[in-house]
Amino acid sequence: MGVLLQAEGIGKKFGALAAVDGVSFTVEEGHVHSVIGPNGAGKTTLFNMISGLIHANSGALTFGGQTITTMPAFRRAAIGISRTF
Ligand SMILES: Nc1ncnc2c1ncn2[C@@H]1O[C@H](COP(=O)(O)OP(=O)(O)OP(=O)(O)O)[C@@H](O)[C@H]1O
Ligand SMILES: [Mg+2]
């Protein structure tokens, strides 16, 4: 099975605060991953960037080979990305 989701150096700044800074990873089809880290580490910000609730301001995200970095959330849902709150 191939790579489904890929992040290449994605980051998000809120003003001067770098909530997520240069995160890269791949998720292969059929694999399950967890993200762990202390309060304020940037986990929710990372998931928000993946689901499209907010957009990364650096780096790139691809899903199934398609660039989704600034794709709106409703379009990501249409290609199979969703989240719970
Ligand atoms: N909308 C926002 N505006 C300004 N700063 C924000 C915003 N969202 C998150 N932050 C800041 O970004 C950093 C990462 O926050 P985030 O919520 O992603 O962390 P987290 O790992 O999900 O934390 P927790 O374990 O508490 O849920 C924190 O310093 C937080 O205060
Ligand atoms: Mg959180």
Structural domains in the chain, sorted by start? 3-78 (3.40.50.300)
* Residue 29, Cβ density class (10 Å: 0-12 exposed, 13-18 middle, ≥19 buried): exposed
Question: CA 71, CA 46: separation in Å to the nearest integer?
Answer: 15
How much is the pTM?
0.96
Q: Is 44 in the pocket of ligand 1 (CB under 6 A)?
A: yes
Distance 42 CA to ligand 2 centre (A): 7
Residue (of 45, 56, 51) closest to 11 by Cα position: 56
For residue 54, the ligand 1 atom closest to its alpha carbon is 1
pLDDT tens-digit readout, 33-71: 999 999 999 999 999 999 999 999 999 999 999 999 999
pLDDT tens-digit readout, 25-34: 999 999 999 9
For residue 37, the ligand 1 atom closest to its alpha carbon is 21
Question: CA 1, CA 3: separation in Å to the nearest integer?
Answer: 7
> Ion ligand 2 — residues with CB under 5 Å?
43-44
